[in-house]
Amino acid sequence: MKAIVHVGLKPGVLDPQGKAVADTLGRMGYDEVHSARIGKVIELDLEGVAKDKADARVKEMCEKLLANTVIESYRYELVD
């Protein structure tokens, strides 16, 4: 089983990398880009855990290590 975790900054948190990307795309002629937010995707290969337990385990991993929940939000999906 695989867990795919998406982590990104919460609304209102400044994103200097996202601003740099949006500004650069605008200078390159992509005027339709108003803003950009940078995040990360983490793929975890899980073994030896039942799907009903995996959900709680992945949430625990996100809360303890993978996301800084003060400034970041996360979501994840479990894939067979």
Query: What are the tens digits of pLDDT across the range 22-72?
Result: 999 999 999 999 999 999 999 999 999 999 899 999 999 999 999 999 999
- Assign residue 32 the CATH number of its domain: 3.30.1280.10
- What pLDDT, on a 0 to 100 scale, did the predictor assign at position 80? 87
What was the pLDDT predicted at 10?
Answer: 98
Over residues 6-21, mean pLDDT: 98
Cα separation of 7 and 68, whole Å? 9
Q: Which domain holds residue 33?
A: 2-79
Domain count of the fold of the chain: 1
Lookup: tokens for 14: 């400044």
Q: pTM higher than 0.75, yes or no?
A: yes
DSSP 31-61: TT------EEEEEEE--S--HHHHHHHHHHH
Q: What are phi and psi of 47, to 5 degrees?
A: -135, 145
Tokens matching residue 30: 């992509």
5 has pLDDT over 90:
yes
> CA-CA distances (angstroms) from residue 17 to 35, 44, 54?
11, 25, 32
